[in-house]
Amino acid sequence: MPLLQELPENNIFQAYGILLLKNNHRFVRKLKKYYTPSIHGHKTWNSSFLLMDYFLHNETLGHRKTIMELGCGWGPASIFCAQHADAKVTGVDRDDEVFPYLEVQAALNEVEIKTKQASFEKITKKQFSEFDILIGADICFWDKLTKIHYNLINRAFKAGVKEIIIADPGREPFYELAEKCLDKYKDCDLLDWYATEPEHFEGEILVIRNPDY
């Protein structure tokens, strides 16, 4: 993936071949006057970069996959998948106030990301059946989310999703989710991982593969 030699303007940074806005970028400042994300949707979270690095070192994405990003926030991982693998990506978030930030960053990278407002526990098997892969970054931060995500994973596999990849800095609810998945699914890995862009960041990646594929 070619690196850009010069950034188009100030308050933009590059990571894994995509451009992202800093919080003090003029577009972000303007959006904040009209949209106020809740549920921690106020910035780009570092676990997204763990996913990007993982995808660069594995053949998970392939080409033209259909991908759903859970808790997409500003959408950096979605944008990476759309740009790097020409994937058809849908970003899902409970808070639709994050979508204007995602749309601006997608436009900056000349990719299109569909968006859907939904709570995780309300995503149906029919909706999951449209996707090959589910991804998520920094989405298991409350205790109650462990059970919600575990049920979601089981529901998604019954719908035909082939693989689910979740990145996290290492919070306790995430480890509890990983333990439950490792107990149930034979083809499941909890990986220590680190990203090198835009700076060094360490965390964990949970990879669960559908046993029916």
What's the pLDDT at 35?
80
Residues ≥6 apart with Cβ < 8 Å to 82: 88, 89, 106, 109, 111, 112, 113
- DSSP states along the chain: -PPPSS-SSTTEEEETTEEEE-TTSHHHHHHTTT----TT-SS--THHHHHHHHHHTSSSS-SS-EEEEET-TT-HHHHHHHHHH--EEEEEES-GGGHHHHHHHHHHTT---EEEE--GGG--HHHHTT-SEEEEES---STHHHHHHHHHHHHHHHHT--EEEEEES--HHHHHHHHHHHHH-SSEEEEEEEE-SSS-EEEEEEEEE-TT-
Question: Could you give the domains of the chain?
Answer: 12-209 (3.40.50.150)
Q: Is the pLDDT of residue 5 over 60?
A: no
Q: Is the pLDDT of residue 52 over 70?
A: yes
**Poorest-pLDDT segment among 50-64, 136-150, 182-196:** 50-64
Q: Is the pLDDT of residue 210 over 60?
A: yes
Banded model confidence at residue 39, pLDDT cuts 50, 70, 90: low
Banded model confidence at residue 1, pLDDT cuts 50, 70, 90: very low
What's the pLDDT at 123?
96
Give CA–CA dist 66/89, Å, rounded. 6
Strand pairing category for 163-168 and 18-21: unpaired
Averaged pLDDT, 195-212: 96
Banded model confidence at residue 8, pLDDT cuts 50, 70, 90: low
Averaged pLDDT, 57-85: 91
Averaged pLDDT, 192-201: 97
Give CA–CA dist 41/192, Å, rounded. 25
Q: Is the pLDDT of residue 41 over 60?
A: no
